[in-house]
Amino acid sequence: MKKSKNTKFITLMGVLLAIEIIMAFTPLGFVPLGFTKATTIHIPVVIGAIFLGPLAGTILGGAFGILSIIINTVSPALTSFVFSPFITIGGAQGNIWSLVIALVPRMLIGIVAYYSYKWVSKIDKTKVIAYATAGVVGSLTNTVLVMSGIYIFFGQQYAAAKEVTFEALFGVIMGIIGINGIPEAIVAAIIVALVCKVLKSVFKEKLY
């Protein structure tokens, strides 16, 4: 029984890591919503945390962060310096805080999503609301912590890259959280709930 559980754990972990990689390097990681694109790469992290536990969620989140560093290093955009310490754009240079922003919020996705799911599942016997809650909370953890890190550690440089004053940056960041973060959280809630409902019928026992 334990060997079977370990096999299922490793299999699901491998599948979720593979999905993260595919999503990171294809448009699947960014769902067009008309007025914006919703990032979805964090969704496998949330699903992994629910079925494999907080440690697995942290590892999957770390993989998300590493993929972010790689992408922003090999295909830099105007603000890639906030995610990669190897990038300098227009005088703005990435540093150790770039690694913190790229990794820490993503690793926390799994932990926060797991415990929010665990708490809500105590009162939600169907688990559907618990799944959706984990999707929302995990997604917002990523958005809020990443944007907060950018404001704290790269405020001046990020404002210059966005061609706004530092005084106006807080409003810009709140706008990004509202325009991108809320739709991303809704998309995550729907996908996590649907996928987890299917996986629940496959994995009838805890894998951690």
Measured in whole angstroms, how far is the alpha carbon of residue 38 from the centre of its chain?
11
What is the number of other CB atoms lying within 10 angstroms of the CB of residue 103? Answer: 18
Whole-prediction pTM value?
0.94
pLDDT band of 98, cuts 50, 70, 90: very high
Residue 177 is classified by DSSP as: I
Average the pLDDT over 175-204 and give the result: 92
pLDDT band of 105, cuts 50, 70, 90: very high
Provide, rounded to the nearest whole percent, the portion of the chain with pLDDT above 70.
95
State yes or no: pLDDT of 35 exceeds 60: no
Q: What is the pLDDT of residue 146?
A: 96
pLDDT band of 36, cuts 50, 70, 90: low
Determine the Cα angle at 176 with ends 172 and 181, to 5°.
155
Residue 78: phi and psi, rounded to 5, are -60, -30
Q: What is the pLDDT of residue 84?
A: 96
pLDDT band of 37, cuts 50, 70, 90: low
Average the pLDDT over 153-181 and give the result: 95
Average the pLDDT over 111-134 and give the result: 96
Q: How far apart are CA 87 and CA 54, in angstroms?
A: 32
pLDDT band of 34, cuts 50, 70, 90: low
Alpha carbon of 10 to those of 7, 101, 131, 151, 199: distances in Å?
5, 28, 22, 38, 15
Q: How far apart are CA 33 and CA 138, in angstroms?
A: 20
pLDDT band of 193, cuts 50, 70, 90: very high
196-205 burial string, b = 16+ CB within 10 Å, else e? beeeeeeeee
70-79, 119-128, 199-208, range with the lowest pLDDT = 199-208
Q: How far apart are CA 188 and CA 26, in angstroms?
A: 18
Token pair of 48 as six digits: 């992994």
- Looking at per-residue pLDDT, the higher value among 37 and 46 belongs to 46
Q: What is the pLDDT of residue 91?
A: 85
- Looking at per-residue pLDDT, the higher value among 31 and 66 belongs to 66
Q: What is the pLDDT of residue 203?
A: 79
State yes or no: pLDDT of 1 exceeds 90: no
